[in-house]
Structure 1
Amino acid sequence: MTEHALPALPTERRPGCPFDPPQELVEARERSPISRLPFADGHQGLLVTGYDLARSILADPRFSSRKELMRHHPTIDYGDIEVPPAPPGEFLLMDEPRHSRYRKPLVGRFTVRRMRLLTERVEQVTAAHLDAMEQAGPPADLVTAFAKPIPAIMICELLGVPYEDRGSFQDDIDTFMNGETSDEDLIAAYTAVQGYLAALVAAKRAHPTDDVLSDLLDSDLTDEELRGMALILLAAGLDTTANMLALGTFALLENPEQLAALRADPALAGPAVEELLRYLSVAKQFVRVALEDVELGGHPIKAGTTVILSLGTANRDPERFPGPHRLDLRRQDGGHLAFGHGIHQCLGQQLARVELRVALPALVQRFPTLRLAVPAGQVALRPEIADIYGVKSLPVTWDA
């Protein structure tokens, strides 16, 4: 393996480059697709920055997603901390066969066909929020007026969560996803969400409705397992798409030629969304642990090694994507890793695609003079420690 090693995981993006991964990560990938990475507790982990190697690891059952095996953050001294397994139902942090116990009942409910049938509803929800923005007039915070409510309504309707209840959990989910929360507040938010979901599952048991959660009641899943599954779906359905809508709009506003192309050609929506997913990689990294000694691409990896996969650099790998740092909505090079790969590939990716393909073109066509209301350098970004990258707010304006 390469002798190259990073002293720490880079976390700072260059000033004026909010869409690019940290420069140190890009330079690491240029030297080698894999580097040694020390952890605060003395563990010698690895950082994968190349596309081919990251994709191989994501599909390799010799690499585990189990919560109890992982060191998620190199800066934390895990010492003698004994990390418990993932709670029942939270299948993203499990391997087979536990993982399939929870994912399989959901797969048929998130197919491409089923999600496309939701297109008309996404169009209705999008139009309603664009109408509200237009009626209120400029300026607006695109995060609260547009990016957050659209995926929130859709995932709430799918799960059978009363939308008027969203205040009971949306702020709490944001609290444990934003990367700026104390341990005490994290625990409080997690506990509050679990309490809400426990009440929701009990309500579905008493009065099932036409939704994904009610559909699962006939299975052998326990209430605790259903709570865990609902938490995963809520958190993913709310946070990732909301950040893609806001950050994607920011990227388009900073690339006016690409914005003009999307506005002029609604048929460009499909490839435009795929390119924005690749270019932005809001889910910046995944973590895996080697279950046995492995050799991949000539690189030996010892059992027990924590491997951090940098999706931001893998999706900018010039060996896979020519001119990778250029936003090109007509790009034909598919196969990005924004939704992951392998058995843990994002279950809700087709729903996210429908939401993005509908909402982004509708926004830029409704407001042809849409622009930032503050200098780009003043847009508040999420900290790099957050699992999902994005903007805290996006002040925009337009000619009324």
Structure 2
Amino acid sequence: MTTESLDRVRMRELFDLRGSYNELTGGHYDGDPYPTWHRLREEGPVHPGTVHELTGRPETLYFQGLPFPDRPHFSAFSYDACMEAFRDPAVFASSPEAVDADPEAGSLGHQSMLSMGGVQHRRYRGLVQPSFLPSNAEWWMKNWIEETVHLLVDGFAGDGHAELNVDFCAAIPVLTITGSFGIPMEQALDIRAALTRDHQKIIDILTPVVAARRAEPRDDLISILVQAELTDEAGVAQRLTDEEIYTFSLLLLAAGSGTTWKQMGTTITALLQRPDVLNAVREDRKLLRPAIEETLRWMPTDPMFSRWVTEDIEFHGQRIPKGAVMHLCVAAANRDPARWDSPDEFDIMRPLKSTLAFGQGSHICLGMHVARGEMTAGINALLDRLPGLRLDPDAEPPSFVGMYERGATAIPVLFDVK
């Protein structure tokens, strides 16, 4: 397997945060929102309005919980308010309508796990969760992550220069998740392009794979789904239908290829901008884990999650009506000085505390351990194989952009060729 089938021009089109694929989530926003978020949090933990409006962006943006112009919107900026909402799914639901009203509901159909709650969510999530536990990290590493990482480094290790954000960071998760589905590399970018625009195209790609795994299972994620059994309230076990497998797959493909690359790029940029910290991590790889965790705190790639309010409540000084959308600005919460000292500083030596970067509660990110594995393997490979890794002083330096999907722009680097 080689990277020749990866169209780098198309990669840049699909993964450019300022490109057309991210325009509707605020990809052109290039300001620093944190001073405004600090001010808002100091004024009160919860405010009427959406996060982007309160940040000074009046345009209509689309993301989870947006735009829904017919509903009242509120935004939470403190750690305590966001954590309280995450931990109360009965009041702060993950979808506009209750999809778990009948615990004996049958087919998953086209209903994503992200929209479920209660019994139904636990049952369906339980089918795939074991594959994403830390104990299975080696399975992901051995089968897909390590090979992908080193294949990509092979493509530029002899050049003395590279652009790491798209040519490296963006490629790792999309090739990992599509590889785990048995989808060949030459179709990986077709999957990425279709995720927001043409789900049927993805289903057409998956259909022969699902049929083949039903006939002859392999050691991959589709095989796990076709063999999974869902036990209903009566104790009767049933296999997932093809439609249910497609719905699971769309969720896992979107999550697996859409966020980790931005977080990895942010981590690499933060280290390259601080050569002393980069050298410390290079010399002591035990520091890589706290460096990744600090980046998740300091600048999470998804700054906001949304929940739908199911009853009239008083919440942190605001009267919230039933049917409102509550936006949880986890990026602001992750810099709450009530929880972290000097929260705007990037400090990999600070005591580790749990953050809200992957959410919390029953809907905490299913693939967070795989994401950490991808970032760890990727950054270790760069430090192992690219001596003298540094930002290219003659190129435009990377900057952080985006409103609801934040990440680094191009990361041009130089390194010594062995």
Common fold by TM > 0.5: yes
Does residue 57 of structure 1 match 2:85?
yes
CA distance in 2, matches of 1:124, 1:217: 25
Contact residue 13 and residue 23 of structure 1 kept, 8 A: no
Judge which range, 276-285 or 246-255, deviates more.
246-255
Does residue 357 of structure 1 match 2:376?
yes
Distance 1:14 1:26, change over 3 A: farther
CA distance in 2, matches of 1:10, 1:164: 29
Corresponding residue of 2:128: 106
Corresponding residue of 1:391: 408
CA distance in 2, matches of 1:229, 1:241: 19
User: 1:14: how far off?
Assistant: 6.5
Residues 97-117 of structure 1, C-alpha deviation per residue, up to 9 Å, x if partnerless?
332332110111111111145
Distance 1:101 1:133, change over 3 A: same
Judge which range, 372-381 or 50-59, deviates more.
372-381
Distance 1:37 1:374, change over 3 A: farther
**Structure 1 counterpart of 2:221, from 212, 237, 242:** 212
SS at match of 1:97: helix
Distance 1:11 1:207, change over 3 A: closer
User: 1:149: how far off?
Assistant: 2.6
- TM-score, reference length from structure 1: 0.80
User: 1:270: how far off?
Assistant: 1.5
Unaligned residue ranges in structure 2 (runs of 5+): 1-24, 51-66, 99-107, 230-238
CA distance in 2, matches of 1:375, 1:304: 52
- TM-score, reference length from structure 2: 0.76
Unaligned residue ranges in structure 1 (runs of 5+): 1-8, 70-85, 177-185
- Structure 1 segment 112-123 matched on structure 2, within 5 A: 112-120=134-142, 122-123=145-146
Residues 17-75 of structure 1, C-alpha deviation per residue, up to 9 Å, x if partnerless?
5xxx4432221112111111167836432110111110110111211111558xxxxxx
CA distance in 2, matches of 1:100, 1:126: 33
CA distance in 1, matches of 2:152, 2:69: 48
Corresponding residue of 2:166: 144
Corresponding residue of 2:309: 290
Distance 1:227 1:68, change over 3 A: same
Corresponding residue of 2:5: none
**What is the one-letter code of the residue matched to 1:391?**
A
**What is the one-letter code of the residue matched to 1:47?**
S
User: 1:326: how far off?
Assistant: 0.7
Corresponding residue of 1:270: 289
**What is the one-letter code of the residue matched to 1:145?**
D
**Structure 2 counterpart of 1:130, from 153, 175, 178:** 153
CA distance in 2, matches of 1:293, 1:12: 36
Corresponding residue of 2:56: none
Distance 1:202 1:306, change over 3 A: same
RMSD: 2.8
CA distance in 1, matches of 2:376, 2:311: 41
Corresponding residue of 1:372: 391
Contact residue 50 and residue 317 of structure 1 kept, 8 A: yes
Distance 1:254 1:226, change over 3 A: same
Corresponding residue of 1:29: 41
**Structure 1 counterpart of 2:241, from 217, 222, 225:** 222
Judge which range, 292-301 or 370-379, deviates more.
370-379
